[in-house]
Each structure stands twice: as C-alpha cells, then as structure tokens.
C-alpha cells in the first residue's frame, strides 16, 4: 500500500513502520552480505563476486556508508531487506522478522481485533498445531515396534537415515484417532486441528478421526522451513496410494513445492532445478546427490511454482523430469499451457523468456520413474540423460505429433498447434531451424509452414497480465544525472526542493526515485532508508545503482547541472511548434488554444527559473 505523501505504509505482516525503521538502522548490510560473499575493499565501497549470477570479475558492490548493494553485472540491488528477500527468497515481512530476531529487536503483536490480526493469529496457531503433528509422526516412526513397518518400507525404497532425517519423515500408525487423541492431550481444540487438515469429522457427527492412517508421512515445508502441510503414502498397494493435506490458510498446493527448502541453496548455486512428480522420486534424487531438485504436489506445474523457483535460479534452467510411460507424457503435455502463459519468447534449444527461465524436458526410458532409474543406473547415467534433455519447442513438436497421431489429419493439426510457439521465436535463424525440424517430422515443405506462420491473425495472444516485451528504455541523461546527484550529494536537496526540479522530470521511474528522495528528506532531513521506501524492486535496483556512483560532486557543479536541466526543459521543442502548426492547418481551434496556453505556461516557468538562478 502506498501513501499519498510519497512514503510507504508498511503493514508488513502487522509489523509497525517504526519497528521496520529500527530494524533497518540496527542491521549492518556488510555483516549480512559477508556471510555469503567474500568482500574486498574498493575505495569507499566493498566488492565481491555476485551471488545472483555467475561471474569471474567482481561487479557486486556494497556501500557501508549508504547501507545498500548493487551488481553492475545483473542489475540486482537494494538495501539489506532486499538482499535477504532476493538471496533467501523471503517476503518483506519475513526479511524484517529475520533481521529483528538477529539484532534482538522485539516485534510487538498487533491487537487481535482487526481482520488481519485475526488471520495472522490463526496462521500462527495452525503452525503450532502442524509442529505438534510433526513431532507425533516422527516419534511414531522412531518407535521400536510401532514404527518398524514404516522403517522397513523406507529401507526397501533405498532411503538412507541421512535423507530420512533431512526431510523429517514420519509415520502415521494404523488406528482411527491416535493423532486426534495426542492433540487433545496437548489441549489443541478439535476445530483448530480440523482447520489444519489433520483430522476430519465423523459422518455420524460424533467426534473426529485422523486424516492420515497407516502411511509414511512427508512433511511439506514452505521455503523458510515452516511445516504447512503433509503428504502420506501407504506401505502397500492400497488406494489411494498418496494422500495430501487439504487446502488450509497455510497450505496451497499450487504455491508449494516439496523439497524446495532443502534444495534452494543448491538451486541458487547451480542456477538450475529438476522438477519431478512424487515424494519418493524427489528423495531418490537427493539420495543420489542430485540436491537441486523439487517435486510438485499432485498437480501439473503451476505458474505460481515457476515464479517461486525463479527467485532461486533467476534465468537459469528448469528441467522437467517425467516418467517413461503414458501418464508421464500426459503430465508433460499438461505443462505446456503454463509455460505459454509465462514465456513470451523462445531462444535456441529451449522455451525461454528473456526475463524468465530456460525450460527443458527429460523423458525417462519406458518403464522407469526417477526412483527406479537412479537405483538401476545411478546418478551419472541420469546426468548424461539430462544433458540431452529436449528444449521446450522440440518437445512441444513431439508432444503435438503424439497427441494427434501419425495421420495426414493428425500432422496438419500438429502444425496448427505449433503456430503460436513458433511465431514467438524472435530470432529468425532459430525460428527457421525449428520450422525445418517441424517440416521434416510432418513431411511437408518448409515454405508451407512459413506461409502458415505468416498468415494474419495467427499472432500468439498475450497471456493474462502479460505485456509484450519492448526494447530497453534509455534513461534521459540529465534526469539520470540529477537523480544520482540527489542520492550521492544530499546537500543539494534543499535547492532541488525549492526550485521544484522534479516536476519537470518526464521519465516516470527516475521521477519516482527522485520524489521518494525528496519525501524522505522532508521527513527526516536525510536520505537514509529511501530505498526501502520505494517498495518496488525495480525502482530499488535503479536507485541502488545510481547511489553507488563515484561522481565527485561540488555545490557549484550541482547548481550548474540544475540550471542546464532547467534550460533544457524550459526550451520549447520542435514537436510543440509542429503540433501548433498542425492544429492551425486543421482549423482545430480548441487544440490550437490549448497548445498555445501550454507554451505560455512553459515560458512563465522558464522565466521564474531564470530569475531564481540570478537571485541564488
């Protein structure tokens, strides 16, 4: 939520703004960053290898004075909150709470009368219930007699004690109400346990029964390691084989990935992630040393899950791993609509958006899932197979042909299905190669497919909420210099404010940053904390990059830059004169008068600026 004063109203998960400010002042960005980046002095700043992209020459800069960071290689930047959010995949409230705990700053609980207070309190209580349930399940697995069937099953699946411990596996013993009685003994209200999805009401209306019974339990953690739900698998061939927690205020299966908490650092280091479909497949990958792997939770891969992964892999690789059977192929084909929503461009060898991810598909040999393949052939064979995983476009071509069949009609339908993806390939050479591949597979001339793509009306529609990518906008040089000056030389801000310089800015991003600097200056007489106030990550990165410049400012030099900017903005442009002439020729008197009035107002502003310059 943005206030009209230029400041930022931070509900931040019910953290008061004053506490956010206290945490910001207490936290030392050098101390936080130094835990993951080896920093070396470079003038007033510190530099190191960027943790957000691969590089050999340090371009990652930290300013102890300004308490900000910026990478001149990939553009990431911001303050200490932004660093934690980007590096650990935290939300803003989570970053504030993590730093508050580290620096021993108490966060008071907001009064529970508000709706938000009530929701936060419910989530907190559900979290506590889940923790108790996890304690119960793990204790049952460790029990010498009660847990023996589950331990035998896990041994048969080839899981080591280390993996069982790392993923906190448990066991829900047979019996209708063992967990329900355990929670009741811990004074947990039955309606709260039901809201957590751990127990369900009996149809008779008399009491509750355990949702999970006679199953190995897989705790589902969020990215920060909090238990949000559970999955369970039977020890035999009973049905349903798998059972997951229902949707709760904590658990949304579209937004969670099993194993992401354990895998996130490995995903960041490798800038790649393997995605499998089952708990045991995921554990098999980790068991064999493939730690940058996660699993979906009974759904096709969702847009929310991909967005979550992008926090850790950036524009790296997603490798979808599917079983070598009909079910695996159908799951792979269901993924296509998600990636068509997320990716508006293709690049060589993969389905890729420039600001998104590379996507490849690994189809295992027939009769294998990741678990059986790894146990039969090992990690090296898996890595070799993964190296040859198909790019998304090539996979989509094969999937379309499989779906529609090897008939004349089926091939024609497959070509029609590939029109959208092929049109999205921006590089003409790459598109030509894909057209050639499709033409060879369906047995037609390349020119036929090229003509089909050229038909009007076949442009792929933008996804919901998607805007077509444009060439990078070049920032106006003078406005950029002025904004950098404001961030680096606060002594000039009184002049900027008095002369209303930012009102002349035309670039909305630079204007937003400059006005945030002024708003902070008016509030506190200083500029510290302005990056956090911006809120928008893109603006934070822009401000951090400008603030870390090495220009040598003087008061007279700053005033000369302001005067230069005022002269440039005050001079009527050729476009204005042309617009007035066009309105006159078209006999558009209303527009003609409006343009003349605007020109006169600009002239008055120019004269006022000139007088201020003379009287300073």
Query: Which residue, chain included where needed, has tokens 């037609």?
Result: 444
Among 167-176, 534-543, 582-591, the minimum mean pLDDT is found in 582-591
The last residue of one of the domains, among 244, 273, 296, is 244
CATH number at residue 223: 3.90.980.10
Q: What distance in Å separates the CA atoms of residue 132 and residue 182, rounded to the nearest whole number?
A: 9
Alpha-carbon radius of gyration of the chain: 30
22 in a domain, yes or no? yes
The CATH number that applies at residue 364 is 3.40.1360.10
**How many CB atoms neighbour CB 559 within 10 A?**
15
Closest to 176 (Cα-Cα) out of 195, 199, 158? 199
**Which helix (H) or strand (E) element contains residue 41?**
strand 40-42
Least Cα distance to 364 among 254, 277, 478 occurs for 277
Q: What is the pLDDT of residues 40-49, one digit of tens each?
A: 888 888 999 8
Give residue 574's pLDDT band: very low, low, confident or very high (50, 70, 90): low
Q: What is the mean pLDDT of residues 12-40?
A: 81
**Which contiguous run of DSSP H or E holds residue 598?**
helix 589-615
Note down the domain range covering 509.
477-615
Alpha-carbon span 306 to 286, nearest angstrom? 20
Domain end (from 52, 76, 102):
102
Count of domains observed in the chain: 4
For residue 41, the cross-strand partners are 46
Q: Is residue 423 part of a domain?
A: yes
Is the pLDDT at 429 greater than 90? The verdict is no
Q: Which two tokens stand for residue 146?
A: 């009660």
Q: Would residue 56 count as lying in a domain?
A: yes
Report the alpha-carbon distance of residue 159 to residue 529 in Å, rounded: 49
Give counts: helices (H), strands (E), the chain: 29, 18
pLDDT at 561 over 80: yes
Residue 179 banded pLDDT, cuts 50, 70, 90: very high
Determine the 3-state secondary structure of 248 from DSSP.
Answer: coil
Beta strands in 211-263, from DSSP E residues, in sequence order: 215-221, 227-234, 242-244
Of 214, 244, 274, the domain-final residue: 244
Residue 310's CB is within 10 A of a number of other CB atoms, namely 18
CB 504 within 8 Å of CB 534: no
Reported as a pLDDT band with limits 50, 70 and 90, residue 288 is: very high
pLDDT of residue 613: 43
* One domain, residues 144 and 287: no
- Give the single-character DSSP code of 110: P
- Among 12-21, 236-245, 306-315, 458-467, the range scoring the smallest mean pLDDT is 458-467
Regarding whether 126 and 58 lie in a shared domain, the answer is no
156 and 238 co-located in one domain: yes
Both 505 and 609 in one domain: the answer is: yes
Handedness of CA 592, 598, 604, 609 (dihedral sign): negative
How many angstroms separate the CA atoms of 321 and 374, rounded?
12
- Report if residue 223 sits inside a domain: yes
- Judge whether 52 and 314 are in contact, CB under 8 Å: yes
Same domain, 224 and 140: yes
Nearest Cα residue to 297 out of 398, 228, 370, 236: 228
Give me the percent of the chain exceeding a pLDDT of 90.
33
Quick check: is 510 in a domain? yes
- Integer Cα distance of 118 and 122 in angstroms: 6
Is residue 292 a contact partner of residue 275, using CB atoms and an 8 Å limit?
no
CB 539 within 8 A of CB 509: yes
DSSP E strand boundaries for 345-473: 346-347, 350-352, 358-366, 390-391
pLDDT at 113: 41
Query: Read out DSSP for 454-482?
Result: HSTT-SPPPPTT-----PPPPPPHHHHHH
Contact residues for 280 (Cβ-Cβ < 8 A; gap 6+): 157, 233, 371
What angle in degrees, to the nearest 10, is found between the helix axes of 446-454 and 408-417? 50
* Whole-angstrom distance, CA of residue 531 vs CA of residue 552: 22
65-86 pLDDT, tens digit per residue, is 888 999 988 888 899 999 998 8
The arithmetic mean of pLDDT across residues 552-571, rounded, is 82
Q: Using H for helix, E for strand and C for coil, what is the string for 120-131? A: HHHHHHHHHHHH
Q: Is the pLDDT score of 327 beyond 50?
A: yes
Q: Report which of residues 505 and 221 the model is more confident about.
A: 221
Query: Does residue 287 share a domain with residue 210?
Result: no
295 and 437 co-located in one domain:
yes
Average pLDDT over residues 134-149: 97
- The model's pTM: 0.63
SS3 content of the chain, % helix, strand, coil (to 5): 50, 15, 35
Q: Which residue has the higher pLDDT, 534 or 244?
A: 244
Q: Are residues 407 and 553 in the same domain?
A: no
**Based on the domain organization, do 170 and 85 belong to the same domain?**
no
Beta-carbon contacts of residue 223 (< 8 Å; ≥ 6 apart): 88, 89, 90, 260, 261, 264, 308, 311
What CATH number is associated with residue 92? 3.90.580.10
Q: Is the pLDDT of residue 275 over 60?
A: yes
Q: Identify which of 481, 278, 76, 615 has the alpha carbon closest to the alpha carbon of residue 68.
A: 76
Start-end of H helices in 167-221 = 178-185, 190-195
Shared domain check, 482 and 446: no
Query: How far from each other are the two terminal CA atoms of the chain, in whole angstroms?
Result: 39
Residue 112 lies in a domain: no
Query: Where are the alpha helices (H) located in 74-210, listed in sequence order?
Result: 80-88, 92-102, 115-142, 148-156, 161-166, 178-185, 190-195
Residues 152 and 268 in one domain: no
For the stretch 188-241, pLDDT in tens is 999 999 999 999 999 887 889 999 999 999 999 988 788 999 999 999 988 899
Residue 280 included in any domain: yes
In terms of DSSP bridges, do strands 350-352 and 358-366 run parallel, antiparallel, or are they unpaired? antiparallel
Task: Check: CB of residue 137 under 8 Å from CB of residue 172.
Answer: yes
Residue 11, domain member (yes or no): no
Residues 568-601, buried b or exposed e (16+ Cβ, 10 A)? ebbeeeeeeeebbeebeeeeeeeebeebeeeeee
Highest mean pLDDT among 320-329, 372-381, 489-498, 604-613: 372-381
Q: Average pLDDT of the chain?
A: 81
Same domain for 440 and 304, yes or no, is yes
Residue 232 host element (H or E): strand 227-234
């Amino acid at each position: 939520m943005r206030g009209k004063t230029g400041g930022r109203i931070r509900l931040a998960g019910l953290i008061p703004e004053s506490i956010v400010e206290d945490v910001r002042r207490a936290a030392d960005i050098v101390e936080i960053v130094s835990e993951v980046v080896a920093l070396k002095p470079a003038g007033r700043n510190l530099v190191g290898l960027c943790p957000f992209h691969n590089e050999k020459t340090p371009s990652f800069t930290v300013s102890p004075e300004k308490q900000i960071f910026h990478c001149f290689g990939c553009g990431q930047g911001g303050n200490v909150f932004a660093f934690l959010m980007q590096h650990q995949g935290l939300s803003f409230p989570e970053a504030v709470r993590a730093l508050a705990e580290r620096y021993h700053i108490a966060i008071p609980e907001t009064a529970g009368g508000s709706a938000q207070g009530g929701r936060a309190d419910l989530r907190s209580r559900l979290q506590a219930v889940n923790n108790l349930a996890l304690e119960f399940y793990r204790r049952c697995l460790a029990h010498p007699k009660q847990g023996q069937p589950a331990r035998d099953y896990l041994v048969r699946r080839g899981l080591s004690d280390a993996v069982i411990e790392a993923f906190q596996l448990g066991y829900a013993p047979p019996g209708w109400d063992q967990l329900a009685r355990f929670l009741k003994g811990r004074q947990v209200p039955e309606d709260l346990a039901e809201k957590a999805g751990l127990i369900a009401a009996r149809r008779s209306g008399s009491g509750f029964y355990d949702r999970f019974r006679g199953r190995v339990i897989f705790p589902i953690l969020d990215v920060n390691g909090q238990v949000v739900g559970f999955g369970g698998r039977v020890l035999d061939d009973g049905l349903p084989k798998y059972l997951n927690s229902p949707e709760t205020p904590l658990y949304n299966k579209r937004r969670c990935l099993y194993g992401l908490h354990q895998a996130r650092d490995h995903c960041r280091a490798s800038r790649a992630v393997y995605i499998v479909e089952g708990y045991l497949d995921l554990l098999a990958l980790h068991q064999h040393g493939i730690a940058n792997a996660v699993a979906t939770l009974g759904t096709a891969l969702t847009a929310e899950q991909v967005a979550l992964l992008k926090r850790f892999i950036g524009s790296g690789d997603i490798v979808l791993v599917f079983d070598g059977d009909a079910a695996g192929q159908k799951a792979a084909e269901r993924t296509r609509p998600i990636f068509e929503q997320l990716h508006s461009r293709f690049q060589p060898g993969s389905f890729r958006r420039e600001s998104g991810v590379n996507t490849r598909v690994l189809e295992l040999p027939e009769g294998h899932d990741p678990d059986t393949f790894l146990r039969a052939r090992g990690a090296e064979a898996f890595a070799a197979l993964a190296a040859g995983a198909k790019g998304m476009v090539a996979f989509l071509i094969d999937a379309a042909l499989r779906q529609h069949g090897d008939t004349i009609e089926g091939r024609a339908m497959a070509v029609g299905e590939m029109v959208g993806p092929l049109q999205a390939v921006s590089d003409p050479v790459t598109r030509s190669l894909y057209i050639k591949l499709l033409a060879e597979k369906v047995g037609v001339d390349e020119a036929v497919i090229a003509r089909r793509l050229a038909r009007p009306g076949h442009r792929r529609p933008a996804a919901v909420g998607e805007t077509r990518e444009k060439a990078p906008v070049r920032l106006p040089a003078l406005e950029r210099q002025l904004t950098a000056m404001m961030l680096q030389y606060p002594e000039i801000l009184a002049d900027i404010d008095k002369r209303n310089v930012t009102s002349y800015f035309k670039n909305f991003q630079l204007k937003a940053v400059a006005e945030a600097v002024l708003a902070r200056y008016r509030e506190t007489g200083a500029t510290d904390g302005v990056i956090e106030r911006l809120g928008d990550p893109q603006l934070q990165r822009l401000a951090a990059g400008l603030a870390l410049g090495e220009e040598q400012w003087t008061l007279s030099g700053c005033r000369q830059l302001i005067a230069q900017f005022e002269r440039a903005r005050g001079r009527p442009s050729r476009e204005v004169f042309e617009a007035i002439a066009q309105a006159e020729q078209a006999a558009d008197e209303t527009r003609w008068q409006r343009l003349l009035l605007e020109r006169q107002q600009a002239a008055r502003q120019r004269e006022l600026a000139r007088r201020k310059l003379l009287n300073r």
